[in-house]
Amino acid sequence: MNPNANLSLGQVLAYGATGLPLAIMGIPLYVYLPPFYAQQLGLGLGAVGLALMISRLWDVILDPIVGFYADLIPGRHRRKTLMLIGLPLFLLATYFLLNPPPQVGIAYLYLWAMLGFLAWTLITIPYTSFGAEADPTPQGRTRLSASREGFGLIGVILAASLPVFLTSHTSGETQAANGDLLSVVFWLMAILLPIGLVLLFVAVPEKPATRRPIKLSAGWPLLRDNRQLRGTLVGFFLNNLANGIPAALFILFINDRLAAPQALGPLLLLYFGAGIVALPFWTWVAHRYGKRSAWGFSITLAGFSFLAVPFLHSGDVTAFAMVCLISGFSLGADMALPASIQGDLAGADADAGGGDRAGLFFGLFGLVTKLALAIAVGLGYGLLSLAGYQSGDSHTDALAWVYGGLPVLFKLAAALIVFRYLHDTESLVISSTKIKEVSP
């Protein structure tokens, strides 16, 4: 470990621990939930895709606002205060979202999804901006980001392993789409998330604001004048769009294209397991060759690994497992490095006189992430609906190309943006822009 780091190893781990229960919800919200409501509850692919897209688009608008107020709140505990406010709302909304009654309408899904994503924002935006400030050195931010994403990968693996241990009781259902699984995931998260937040609040001190916060309207000049930030956000958007489409359609691809529902849990474990094993490797590559180069190469690797996916057919589980292994290997960089790069940009901006706006930076990151995921689920389910695809359909070419073809285009475009428009951020100096300050 870096002897000049501001935080001890124990504090770095305490910070990252909250990422585990937050990540446990990732697979249910993006993989299990859409087909559960579309198929088992009978709401349909198109309606579910539209409802989830609209609920996330509302959340997109709220991200920079939450980031702004995370900067504006005075005192030493501004990040922790917002996380504490978001916790009960998140538990309430996800309970109803993951434990629906047998007869529900699309309005039920829209309401609780919208509230759940709002509460998610109240926790995650302050949490990630907290990580950019707790240790302001480039290596320190990488350590905190790697800790958060490493715990996050453990949480994802835990969620992915649950279908292996839970048995479906209804004929024709896949294990991963079973309502019992969603309920178990909720209670696991509901126990671990408060514990993680207690560890964070007790072990990791929050530094008080040292600069006056700025107006929310300064977000536009921030984007207009900061080429590095624009390039990072565009690359991040395209990369998340490429990740979101396969996530939303994963269960359908495994069941209908590969005809291997029994392989769902093992394939998820292989993918995320490869990611967590590769995380130290990508951290080393970032330290040796720069974060930009490491992230761009990982995106390219994942894109090329998906080239064969549209040509896979029923029974090609081994070939698809290789795709999961290679694309999963790139996941470690894909999750840890963008947030670390964003922290470097926020730190360089503050040093150049940009004011105290780390929350606004990460609000913009959250906006781009959720916009990409909203478009991904709407685009994926919408294209399948337009193509006349029905779950269980033996004519799955449309599913194969939407699932495996579109992500390749978006991944390669993201890699081009990263390599062409980004520079290594470790020694970045950003020109100061004129901003208007406001009192806390």
pLDDT tens for residues 177-203? 456 778 888 899 999 999 999 999 898
pLDDT: is 140 or 222 the higher one? Answer: 140
pLDDT tens for residues 105-115? 889 998 999 89
| Residue 207 in this model has a pLDDT that exceeds 50 | yes
DSSP helix/strand/coil, 342 = helix
- Give how many domains the chain has, as a whole number: 1
Q: Exposed/middle/buried for 20, CB within 10 Å: 0-12, 13-18, 19+?
A: buried
| Residue 323 in this model has a pLDDT that exceeds 90 | yes
Q: Exposed/middle/buried for 144, CB within 10 Å: 0-12, 13-18, 19+?
A: buried
Residue 306, amino acid: F
Q: Is residue 36 part of a domain?
A: yes
- C-alpha to C-alpha distance for 425 and 422, rounded to whole angstroms: 8
Q: Is residue 428 part of a domain?
A: no
CATH number reported for the structural domain that contains residue 405 in this entry:
1.20.1250.20
- Mean pLDDT rounded to a whole number for the chain: 80
Q: Is residue 356 part of a domain?
A: yes
What would the mean pLDDT of 13-32 be, rounded to a whole number? 85
| Residue 212 in this model has a pLDDT that exceeds 60 | no
Q: Which residues of 281-305 are buried (b: 16+ CB within 10 A; e: fewer)?
A: ebbebbeeebbbbbbbbbbbbbbbb
Q: How far is CA 221 from the centre of its chain?
A: 26
What local confidence, expressed as pLDDT, does residue 31 receive? 77
What would the mean pLDDT of 38-47 be, rounded to a whole number? 81
Q: Which of 43-52, 129-138, 305-314, 425-434 has the highest mean pLDDT?
A: 305-314
Q: Is residue 212 part of a domain?
A: yes
Name which of 247, 251, 275 is nearest 374 in CA terms.
247
pTM tops 0.85:
no
pLDDT tens for residues 375-406? 888 898 888 888 888 776 656 788 999 999 99
Q: Which residues constitute the domain of residue 65?
A: 12-421
Residue 130 to residues 62, 222, 246, 262, 409: CA-CA distances in angstroms?
A: 18, 20, 30, 40, 34
Q: Is residue 224 part of a domain?
A: yes
Q: Is residue 309 part of a domain?
A: yes
Beta-bridge partners for 437: 214
Please provide residue 43's backbone torsions phi and psi, each rounded to the nearest 5 degrees. Answer: -85, -15
What local confidence, expressed as pLDDT, does residue 353 receive? 54
3-state helix, strand, coil in the chain (%, to 5): 80, 0, 20
